[in-house]
């Protein structure tokens, strides 16, 4: 079984080398092989130069975009190059540890789930601002009300899917709203989401975090829009 790891990247020169190393070093079940696809989304901070030094290995595909087009476009592009049975989304910063992969994969390997979300609130959280924690819980309440679910972390960026499920939906949103769109479209199709506890270490803006309050508000209303739209 092959696991495709999609890594959208924008201006992550300080972390991209380490995250690739961590992905490569994580040890998975012997039946799992890894395929890493990096989508460089028009980075301007030297990320491209670092990635070019990593090219030429069989386990790593690097796609370069001339201009920043957002996470949705990056994921759509990465999917066209993926060949794995499973697809996992990994942000390029160090908030989400690749060591979580083992926990995410377990329900799928045991044939207990087709979709697995890594829940920060079921696991261990470091350095998350209290206001951000409250905002996440408010979004959870909204989504659970809309879909009659009991999810604890709909905004998590550690998601694992059977590839065949992602191929059944089209991602049309821009920016970070794609996370809301993917979740809503799969829930509307009747698929169940299994949550497992993960470790999470938050970054702030000074440390390079890209998502801001404008993005967060767009994501929140994205859940509402995609719960009623196509």
Query: Mind listing the pLDDT tens digit for each residue in 100-119?
Result: 999 999 999 999 999 999 99
- As given in the structure block, the two tokens for residue 115 are 């979709």
At 220, is the pLDDT very low, low, confident or very high (cuts 50, 70, 90)? very high
Whole-number percent of the chain with pLDDT over 70: 97
Query: How confident is the model over 61-105, as pLDDT tens digits?
Result: 999 999 999 888 999 999 999 999 999 999 988 899 999 999 999
Residue 38 to residue 64: CA distance in whole angstroms: 8
Query: How confident is the model over 148-174, as pLDDT tens digits?
Result: 999 999 999 999 999 999 988 888 888
């Amino acid at each position: 079984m092959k696991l495709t790891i999609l890594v959208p990247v924008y201006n992550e020169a300080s972390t991209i080398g380490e995250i690739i190393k961590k992905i490569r070093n994580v040890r998975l079940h012997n039946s799992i092989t890894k395929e890493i696809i990096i989508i460089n989304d028009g980075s301007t901070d030297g990320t491209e130069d670092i990635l070019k030094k990593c090219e030429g290995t069989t386990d790593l595909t690097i796609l370069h975009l001339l201009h920043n087009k957002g996470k949705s476009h990056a994921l759509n592009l990465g999917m066209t190059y993926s060949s794995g049975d499973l697809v996992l989304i990994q942000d390029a910063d160090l908030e989400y540890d690749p060591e979580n992969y083992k926990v995410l994969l377990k329900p799928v390997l045991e044939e207990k789930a087709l979709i697995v979300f890594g829940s920060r609130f079921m696991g261990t959280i470091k350095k998350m601002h209290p206001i951000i924690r409250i905002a996440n819980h408010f979004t959870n309440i909204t989504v659970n009300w809309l879909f009659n679910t009991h999810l604890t972390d709909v905004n998590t960026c550690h998601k694992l899917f059977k590839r065949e499920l992602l191929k059944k939906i089209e991602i049309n949103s821009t920016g970070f709203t794609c996370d809301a769109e993917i979740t809503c479209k799969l829930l509307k199709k009747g698929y169940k989401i299994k949550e497992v506890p993960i470790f999470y270490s938050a970054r702030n803006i000074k440390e390079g975090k890209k998502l801001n309050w404008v993005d967060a508000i767009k994501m929140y209303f994205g859940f509402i829009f995609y719960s009623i739209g196509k």
